[in-house]
A and B are shown apart, each in its own frame.
Chain A
Amino acid sequence: MTWLLENLGAVAGYLASHLTLALPPIALSFLLAVPLGWLANRFRWLRTPLLTGAGLTYAIPSLPLFIVLPIIIGTQTRDPANIIVALTIYGLALMLPLTADGLRQVNPLALDAAKAMGYPPLRRFLTVELPLAGPTLLAGVRVVAVSTVSLVTVGAVLGIPSLGSLFTDGFQRGILAEIVTGIILTVVLALLLDGLLVLLGRVLMPWTRKRPVRTQAQDAVAEVAA
């Protein structure tokens, strides 16, 4: 605790750059996953390559990806853009299968009803299909947010400042408190973002609150009655 109080300025700086690195990939992976997930459902032949590709990219370890990526996109090794692009790729790898699933599980009757009411395709997608898939999408974004916040720290090994710098600096100088501070702040930041997303979900999807929660006992009773 004393270590944190004595180094509050530096830690705040790391926290700020951590957020700058973490927030764009979270937003980007969501914005890319929605159209790609739609394509995976719309064109069946695209489904397997898209979803298998997503699975395989998630298998690539982060530090090697941070190093290989500058070659592919033509940036410098210590450019923060590498981290943002790499983490967007990971986010997309997590998000895409969930998005495709969520969109596929929307009740087709609801879509037929919207069609019958004269909704054009884009409006049908944005106002019926997307909101109905909302809870699944939210679950995906929450996973992406938490893992992105945690992965940003690896960039510190390459000299890109973030809360991960507390790990590399603490290790080099042998300051245990610095490493512990870094771990706690990273976890707290991840959980905080997760909590904000839950709140955002409640505001954007008020109907998910009203759904009656059935307990296991109620399910059993219903089953016996049927």
Chain B
Amino acid sequence: MNYLLDAIAWINDPTHWPGANGIGVRLGEHLAYSVLGVLVACVIAIPAGWWVGHTGRLRGLAVGISGGARALPTLGLVTLLGILFGIGLVGPMVAFIVLALPSVLAGAYSGVESADKQAVDGARASGMTEMQVLLRVEVPLGLPLLIGGIRSAFLQVIATATLAAYVGAGGLGRFLFLGLKTQDYAQMLAASLLVVALALVCDIAFATAQRLASPTRFR
């Protein structure tokens, strides 16, 4: 319990917040890396997922990718890319994108697939083009599932961003690995608590967004 109090005291210490190595900058880095990684993954995976969901083509491949990705060990990917790209941000960033892709892809195609078939047929019968059917009917109806996919991708990347410090990038993991090296348990625990808090806050924000995106009858 004393460790916990020490950790909270470490977080509350005003000298630990400002500066290039302060909590403020590391927190910002952690969040910025995560947002950037997920954004790039979205740019690649959302159009691909919509296409798979709408046409039903390559569905088996998409299911396989999004299911099999769970088996891929994050730490292995981070260290592998760390060696390939050297110390810095490129390796971890590629790892974030690779890890975020399957969840976003799954959210995009399952969202489009979940659209009520009668609504889709109705839209087609009323003369909508395929593009209109996709963008005006299937995508809005599948939005909660898509946001759900982005949510799990984002959480996975926040978790992985902690490991990014292992290969020399910044983020809150920096404090964690510094504490691990110097046996500074308070610092290590403080960094852990900060990452957990950040993950929970982001998860709750996404849960709210997901609820707001549902059609009214599901709320």
Contact = CB atoms under 8 A, between A and B. Distances in A.
Contacts of A65: 192, 196
A55 B199 CA distance: 12
Interface stretch (A100-108, A109-117, A122-130, A177-185): A177-185
Interface residues of A, number: 41
Interface string A133-169: 0000000000100110110011011100001101110
Contacts of A197: none
Nearest to A74: B1
Nearest to A182: B76
Contacts of B200: 56, 59-60
Interface string A58-77: 11111111011001000001
A171 B163 contact: no
A164 B163 CA distance: 13
A71 B196 contact: no
Q: Is the interface of B mostly helix, strand, loop or mixed?
A: helix
A68 B199 contact: no
A62 B82 contact: no
Interface string A38-65: 0000000000000000011011111111
A203 B166 CA distance: 44
A174 B83 contact: yes
Interface residues of B, number: 41
A170 interface: yes
Chain A interface SS verdict (over half):
helix
Interface of B: 1, 3-4, 68, 70-80, 82-84, 155, 158-159, 162-163, 166-167, 173, 176, 180, 185, 188-189, 191-193, 195-196, 199-200, 202-203, 207
Interface of A: 55-56, 58-65, 67-68, 71, 77, 143, 146-147, 149-150, 153-154, 156-158, 163-164, 166-168, 170-171, 174, 176, 179-180, 182-183, 186-187, 190-191
